Amino acid sequence: MLRTLGIDPGSQKTGWAVIDHQGQQLIWVASGIIRLGSGPFPERMATLGLALRDIVVNHQPTQMAIEEVFLAKDPQSALKLGHARGVAMFIGAEAQLPVFEYAARRVKQVVIGTGQADKQQMQVMVRMLLGLAEALPEDASDAAGVAICHAHSSSGLAGLGTTTSQSHRRRQTGRWRLKDETQ
């Protein structure tokens, strides 16, 4: 069974979801929203990194799937979203997780059947696919959608472990550090 951490990045709030999957079987493990507020941007990114690191340590995913940046009307918003994605990708690489990226349109096509779906449709389908009694909040549902998309994509089922750098190793304390290149 594979465990995927799905990420719907944002500069004020980031959705996350962990699912287990094998073949067509999907099992919800955990999900939530990391609320970053509106304080200084560097502090929000630090909060995001620390929260994602805790999620990785607590839920031990074997891979990460993240939504790609879309073209926003406001270039500043797109840049900030890119920073949030960078933090999330760093945390995945730090934990030696293969990190996969999916366009929002692709996620909607795989999960719902159309790339034009709205957030409410995503919530309904994610709830159904994961067998949940209630819909997840929007951002957590979007993150679960990214994880589900990955679970159903052939790229997510083949070649795992070949996309990450081996330049990191885990210490016994649960913290991550760069491997000394002189070793």
Active site residue 54: no
CB 33 within 8 A of CB 107: no
Does residue 58 sit within a domain?
yes
Catalytic residue among 43, 67, 180, 181: 67
Does residue 183 sit within a domain?
no
| Residue in the block written with tokens 């929000």 | 44
pTM above 0.75, yes or no: yes
CB 14 within 8 A of CB 8: yes
Note down the domain range covering 151.
Answer: 2-178
> Tens digit of pLDDT for each residue in 127-159?
999 999 999 999 999 999 999 999 998 544 333
Active site residue 8: yes
Does residue 138 sit within a domain?
yes
Task: Give the angle 123-46-53 at the CA atoms, nearest 5°.
Answer: 65
Catalytic residue among 8, 20, 54, 138: 8
Does residue 133 sit within a domain?
yes
Catalytic residue among 74, 101, 139, 180: 139
CB 146 within 8 A of CB 66: yes
pLDDT, tens digit only, all 183 positions of the chain: 899 999 999 989 999 999 999 888 999 999 999 999 889 999 999 999 999 999 999 999 999 999 987 766 778 888 898 999 999 999 999 999 999 999 999 999 999 988 888 889 999 999 999 999 999 999 999 999 999 999 998 544 333 332 333 333 333 344 444 444 444
Does residue 37 sit within a domain?
yes
> Tens digit of pLDDT for each residue in 5-21?
999 999 899 999 999 99
- Provide the domain count of the chain: 1
CB 5 within 8 A of CB 147: yes
Spatial neighbors of 45 by CB under 8 A, at least 6 apart, are 83, 84, 87
Spatial neighbors of 176 by CB under 8 A, at least 6 apart, are 53, 94, 95, 168, 169, 170
Check which CATH number belongs to the domain holding 66 and give it: 3.30.420.10
Pull the structure tokens for residue 149.
């998309």
Active site residue 139: yes
